[in-house]
Structure 1
Amino acid sequence: MATVETREDLPLKKDGKRKGLNLCSEDFLGGSKLVNISLAVITIAITIALFFQISYGDYQIIPHGSVATDSKECSVIGTEIMKRGGNSVDAAIASMFCLSVVSPHIISLDGQGEAIIYNHKEQVPPVVISFNKNSASVSTLPNLVAGLSHLYLHYGKMNWKELIEPSVSLARNGFKISSHLAIAVRFLEAEKLFGVLKENNELKLEVLANTLEKFSSLTNDEIRNLIPRQNQPEITTTANMTFQYYNIFVPGGISEGPVLLHTLKRFQQENLTNSNSTIESEFIPKIAKINKMVHDELNMSDTFFKGTSTNVAVIDDNDLYISLVGFVFFSVFVFFCFCLRESAPMKGSDSCDELDSRRESAPNIKDSQSCSSLKAQN
């Protein structure tokens, strides 16, 4: 009878195991090793997939960035500028040029303006750039154009021409007349310049298109030479405060900024921000009372700003913020006034203040006619 001898020395011998990686070994795949290896493989696979999706795939979340203006057309133009690689300053410049086309009753190329620029990513204090001086002469850039040029030279990324071309096209090809423009032209009796405007009709501004086109062809060096020293924008810092967990930045110096901060402080002192009342009959008198207190405390005069203004607010995907305000002191024909200056330099007392008399002596001039024809009729 044969006997079977059970030997345990082979599996128990230290050098009986084969050295090296044995993927089929029960020891290799046993216990928690299999779980750990599986999780590692899955993690690596997901990481690689996410890398390629982020680098080459379509955006699942739109990069934050926005353009806000008083005009849909101008907001679209600013947004397109950012889509083409421009930053928030580029978008703001393009949008403001657009507003000078679609809202000639509000802002002109020779208007004034102010911008606050804040780089949130770098957490540096915001800077205020003011271009509130009158143009030095007809041989230099109009005031608003000079201010926008300064912003471009110091903060812009795109080509200068690319920022103006959309507005040139808009002025030349036409745009829909807004209700505000139609009402303003009628109220200011400016039909002799623009014709009778009706809401949603198309308006073409060929003269303005030609003017903008000339500006768009300027090189950076030419732009610098056309901004004289006495017309350089003023650069200052902001005033600020914290209000309801928000950081408020406003222009300092002689502006409405400090007045706003003083008013907000009064809101806090009067505990108005914690009021549960939402009833107009209770809330509005409190606001009026605070405004009266601020008016008396700051010894403000009764003469307030008389003019028009428009605002552009932009943020790009690099957290660069800009708030740009363009305004003009009350002038009925700010657009056509500049048109006259652009077509033929004025001499001596031949100033924009005389535009009303020019208008009366040339009652049938439309924008489609040249500014030179208006000069000839005078």
Structure 2
Amino acid sequence: MFWRNSTSGLKQINFNDQFSPEMTNDTADSPEHQAPGVVELREDVPLKAGVEGSGGVWGGGSCVRGPKLIVAAFAALSAAITLALLTQIYYGDYEIVPHGATSSSVAACSRAGTDALKDGGFALDAAVAAALCLAVTAPHRTSMDASGSMLYWEYRQSRTQQPSLIEWGGSATQSDAHRPPRLVAALAALHAQLGVLPWSRLVQPAIELAREGFPVSEGLAAVEGAAGMKVMVPGAMRSAPALADFLETLKKNTSAELSAAWNSASLLRKNLPRATTRSGVRVWAGGPGAGVALEAIETALQTTLSDPDQITLKVVNSLQQAAAAEGSDWPPAGVASGLAVIDRRDNYLALVTGLSMPFGNGALTGEGWAYDEPTAPLDLAPAFLTDDLVCGTRYVIGAESSAALAQAAVILATGGGAGGVEHGRLQIVRGGALGLEATRPEPLFGSPAPTINASLPYAAVNVVQQRGDSLLSHADSRGGGLASRF
């Protein structure tokens, strides 16, 4: 017997009355025959089916049965964890989990590319934004009328197929002062096929830099000085309002409308890239100098050399022999600006645009850019470098000359990493002479060949490296740029 509180005061409870002989075990266990305020504490309570009509948590007032609730809770927890992981992968700390990268010879242009990737753009969108930006900020290497060579590969979806090589300009097009600028026309056609962001969105970064101004690079100032042009101090701000106005007119139409009006698709030439495989390394390359560059790479990879200087010497000797054999046809002429892009979908894009000479060979237009009419193929060298492993190391390379590509690629292939592009390099001059870079010490290995001062601008090699799911990027300091990741 014990006492409990009730609404009418203390009430006496008799155990004999509560569990009278008339009650069966079943009726005693049923909730309607339990004393008010008494709660079962058996272990199987949460797993028992509730009784309709009672209002307890485990009673019929809830339509959720015990086992079903546990399963539902576990499923909800699993879904929440999965969602959190996906959120971290796609929207997490970009420095820890990079999702895309753009490398070019101007920091602002690399950022324009990665900003396009952040907004959901594909590799082609990033390349359009960066290339137009370079045409504004690096007019000594490229322009609105630049020729181009682009390697494109949807690696995740089509890694068993060859990359695509798309080229325009060079010596294959006729002179026409009334034609649209080649770079703009080609990019419009490519964007209509492969881009997803609005065309106007991709033109805007170049407009802002032309309107608000950009810092003059050391390379631009040096080339202007060598050409006897008006020189600005490196770092000084320069604007191009007429060019900004021209770019504004490009926003009035979509890329598809511009491409149709200009018949831009007819400018593009689709070819198969040159390729070589040696020692588990495969290299694809475009441009007129690709054949010689790949032969030099293959020759170097056949050796067992491990010293970077000796490897570079092997490549340089091979390039010299080619230059001596080809005479005035190798290396190809021109200046260039290269960029490399990898997006979150593992689409690889290497784009190199260039001119027959710094600033082009035609007169300036009212908008501040010059037509360029090359009389020979230009030395544009986009490339991909991969190993045999599906999740191994891959490089997207925007090389501004085939000789620079050959020298940098062997360092990358032999473990130099993306930073290997900074290794000492020699410019190959027609006839086999070697050009030494004034801003860098002479390479340690030396060379018995005649040497001269390399001409400006020096050919840079901009790289994005993917190893497994991680991304690294490097912009060659010869171009003065800075890579950007997110």
**Following TM superposition, by how much is the alpha carbon of 1:167 offset from its aligned partner in structure 2, in angstroms?**
0.4
Alignment partner of 1:186 is 2:214: no
Cα distance in 2 for residues equivalent to 1:309 and 1:52: 45
One-letter amino acid matched to 1:52: L
1:326–1:228 distance in 2 versus 1, CA, 3 Å: closer
Partner residue, 2:299: 266
1:182/1:53 CA distance change after superposition, 3 Å: same
Instruction: Render the CA deviation track for 1:49-86: whole Å, top value 9, x for unaligned.
Output: 31332466683453521000000010011111111121
In the alignment, is residue 207 of structure 1 matched against residue 242 of structure 2?
A: yes
Deviation (angstroms), 1:139: 3.4
Residues 221-255 of structure 1: CA deviation (Å, up to 9, x unaligned): 233221367x521011222233453332112xx71
**TM-fit CA distance, 1:180:** 1.1
Which of 126, 132, 154 is the aligned partner of 1:97? 132
Q: Is the 8 A contact 1:129 1:233 kept in 2?
A: yes
Give the 3-state SS of the residue equivalent to 2:327 in structure 1: coil
In the alignment, what sits opposite 1:300? 326
- Aligned residue in 2 for 1:144: 183
CA distance 1:352–1:335, shift in 2 (3 Å): closer
| 1:80 and 2:106 matched | no
Q: How many angstroms does 1:295 deviate by?
A: 4.8
* TM-aligned CA distance change 1:60 to 1:333, over 3 Å: closer
State the SS of the aligned residue for 1:300: helix
Identify unmatched segments of 5+ residues in structure 2: 1-25, 30-39, 47-67, 375-486
Distance 2:313 2:359 in 1: 38
Q: Aligned pairs, how many?
A: 314
Question: 1:276 corresponds to which residue?
Answer: 306
Say which SS state the counterpart of residue 198 (structure 1) adopts: coil
Amino acid at match of 1:126: P
2:194 aligned with 1:164: no
- Structure 1 pair 243–139 and aligned structure 2 pair: CA distance change class (3 A): same
Superposition pairs for residues 1-378 of structure 1, below 5 Å?
Answer: 44=75, 46-54=77-85, 59-60=91-92, 62=94, 63-123=98-158, 124-132=161-169, 133-134=172-173, 137-191=176-230, 196-219=231-254, 220-227=256-263, 231-251=266-286, 255-269=288-302, 271=303, 274-278=304-308, 280=309, 282-295=310-323, 299-302=325-328, 303-330=330-357, 332-334=358-360, 337-340=363-366
3-state DSSP of counterpart to 1:122: helix
Q: 8 Å contact 2:165–2:273 — kept in the other structure? A: yes
- What is the Cα deviation at residue 99 of structure 1? 0.4
Contact (CA 8 Å) 1:116, 1:126: kept in 2 or not? yes
Which amino acid in 2 is paired with 1:97? L
Distance 1:170 1:50, change over 3 A: same
1:25 is displaced (CA, Å) by 6.0
TM-score under structure 1 length normalisation: 0.71
Q: Which runs of 5+ in 1 are unaligned?
A: 1-14, 30-36, 354-378
Q: Which amino acid is the alignment partner of residue 275 of structure 1?
A: L
Contact 2:296 2:315 in 1 (8 A): no
The letter of the residue matching 1:276 is S
1:135-193 CA distance string (max 9 Å, x none):
653333111112111211111111111111110111011111111111111111121xx
Counterpart amino acid of 1:205?
A
Q: Residue 70 of structure 1: SS of its match in structure 2?
A: coil
Residues 140 and 228, structure 1, Cα contact 8 Å, conserved in 2: no
Q: Output the CA distance in 2 between the equivalents of 1:236 and 1:283.
A: 31
Specify the code of the residue in structure 1 equivalent to 2:306. Answer: N
Distance verdict in 2 for CA 1:84–1:186, change over 3 Å? same
SS at match of 2:365: helix
- The superposition leaves residues 276-331 of structure 1 with CA deviations (integer Å, 9 ceiling, x where unpaired) of 345x4x555433333345556xx42244333210111101001111100001111x
Higher strand share: 2
Of 300-309 and 107-116, the range deviating more from structure 2: 300-309
Distance change (3 Å), C-alpha of 1:41 and 1:149: closer
Task: Flag the structure with higher helix content.
Answer: 1
State the distance in 1 between where 2:87 and 2:314 align: 56
In structure 2, what is the Cα distance between the partners aligned to 1:161 and 1:73? Answer: 18
Maintained 8 Å contact 1:308/1:327 = yes
- TM-score (normalised: structure 2): 0.56
CA distance in 2, matches of 1:169, 1:176: 13
CA contact (8 A) 1:94 1:164 kept: yes
**Structure 1 counterpart of 2:327, which letter?**
S
2:213, 2:113 → 1: CA distance?
18
Deviation track 1:94-140 (CA, whole Å, cap 9, x = no partner) reads 10000011111111111100101100111232111101244653333
Would you say the 8 A contact 2:155–2:348 is kept in 1? yes
Alpha-carbon separation, structure 1, partners of 2:214 and 2:317: 44
Distance in 1, matches of 2:99 and 2:154, equals 15
SS of equivalent to 1:190: coil
Question: Relative contact order (alpha carbons < 8 A, sep ≥ 6): 1 or 2 greater?
Answer: 1
* Percent of pairs with identical residues: 23
Residues 1:161 and 1:237: Cα distance change in structure 2 (over 3 Å): same
Aligned-pair RMSD on alpha carbons?
A: 3.9
Tell me, in whole angstroms, the C-alpha distance in 2 between the residues paired with 1:257 and 1:207: 37
Separation in 1 of the partners of 2:42 and 2:146? Answer: 83
